[in-house]
Amino acid sequence: MGIYQDFGLKQIINASGKMTALGASAVHRDIAKALSEGSMDYVDMEELMVAAGKRIATATCAEDGCPTSGAAAGISISVAAVIAGTNLTRIEGLPFSDGLRNEIVIQKGHLVHFNAPITQMIALGGGKAVEVGQVNHVEKSHIVESITEQTAALFYVKSHHTVQKGMQSLETMIAVAREHQLPIIVDAAAEEDLHQYIAMGADLVIYSGGKAIGGPTSGFICGRAPLIKACRAQYQGIGRAMKVGKEAIAGLLTALQRYENKEDSSKEQRERMHWLLEQLKGVRGMEGRMVKDEAGREIYRAQLKIDPQVLGMDTYELIRRLESGNPAIFSRNHDANLGIIHIDPRPLLQGQEELIVKRIREIVEEKDEPAI
């Protein structure tokens, strides 16, 4: 029994990933200790923000950093920073930005929805999203031709949610931004490499603290010092509604410190998924294999392809049955329309792959039982 069961909630087995809807990460005890200790003391928040920025800069090899309440808040704050800078009158006027350079150029295939539309996060920062190209095809000229005197920045999304073909690369976007003396913002919320995009020349890069890093609900922006200073200034405006607490910052900084020295657990994760696939061999109506993350990250998941004619239920019925149990099992269902679910090993607690195998077998056996 855990604290959420004490509140009357059912237990969750997260085989979906570092998903916001499931609470993102189950943090390490060291991070939990930092959260607890941080919540039981006082600190000058302005000093903490600056000190945290220095720690973030060290972890990312950027000039400076700014903690946020999450990656979505990081989008809004970054957009606000390139529009309003440190001008207090402009900051207090956002998200209303008429008369200011407020256009944010983004490829149409990057207009993702992560339980909220990215265009809304841009709008909260005062930005007007300028969609370029088509959903599956963008030329460099589409980007260049969209730039006007009202353009404030280019925006690039690095995510498995985006269209993975037909888009212009980040290298191209950076080159265009440099040619036109514009900043480029990179949304790298769930990415694992904290150095790559700064090294490539991005001006602001946004990460989630609760995804790959394994921290609490939080986020951060890293990048060029003048723009980061402008990001912090937004806490006098729209950032106030998305402020990050002292305890979350303490947990985030601890998570970043642990992340720098993290052990590579990919071998263990693959072994756990190999074991799960072996245990499900021979289960009728299911074909299993190991697959790599669709966005190219070094993440390997167990893929289960469902044959509804043989199993006697379609993928959506299997998902419903997994999620309606107690514990409720949440698989990764981005390809459910193709008859596929994935089991992500990263968020699984010790031994939970055994419970998943047990429940899937139970569901299949229940389907075999004759109706009374």
The tens digit of pLDDT for each residue in 213-241 reads 999 999 999 999 999 999 999 999 999 99
Per cent of the chain over pLDDT 90 is: 83
pLDDT-derived band at 1, boundaries 50, 70, 90: low
Amino acid 368: pLDDT: 63
pLDDT-derived band at 367, boundaries 50, 70, 90: low
Q: What does the block give as tokens for 63?
A: 């000039």
Most confident of 4-8, 59-63, 161-165: 59-63
**Statement: residue 295 has pLDDT above 70:** no
**Statement: residue 275 has pLDDT above 70:** yes
Pick the CATH number of 42-260 from 3.20.10.10, 3.10.20.30, 3.40.640.10, 3.40.50.970: 3.40.640.10
Amino acid 370: pLDDT: 53
Q: What angle do helix axes 225-233 and 45-60 make, rounded to 10 degrees?
A: 150
Contacts of 86 (CB under 8 A, 6+ apart): 229, 230, 233
Question: Using omega within 30 degrees of 0 as the cis cutoff, is the peptide bond preceding 327 cis?
Answer: yes
**pLDDT tens, residue by residue, 171-217:** 999 999 999 999 999 999 999 999 999 999 999 999 999 999 999 99
Amino acid 369: pLDDT: 59
Q: Is 213 in contact with 259 (CB distance < 8 Å)?
A: yes
Short-list 173, 187, 180, 110, CA closest to 150: 180
Q: Where are the domains of the chain?
A: 3-17+265-368, 42-260
Contacts of 346 (CB under 8 A, 6+ apart): 17, 18, 269, 299
Question: Using omega within 30 degrees of 0 as the cis cutoff, is the peptide bond preceding 95 cis?
Answer: yes
Amino acid 198: pLDDT: 98
**Statement: residue 333 has pLDDT above 60:** yes
Interior/surface letters 203-227, b for 16+ CB within 10 angstroms, e for the rest: bbbbbbbbbbbbbbbbbbbbbbeeb
Amino acid 110: pLDDT: 96
Q: Which of 9-13, 352-356, 367-371 has the lowest mean pLDDT?
A: 367-371
Annotation: CATH topology of 3-17+265-368: Aspartate Aminotransferase, domain 1 (3.90.1150)
The span from the CA of 292 to the CA of 182, in Å, is 35
**pLDDT tens, residue by residue, 90-102:** 999 999 999 999 9
Mean pLDDT of 103-108: 98
**pLDDT tens, residue by residue, 49-66:** 999 999 999 999 999 999
3-state DSSP of 77-95 = HHHHHHHHCCCHHHHHHCC
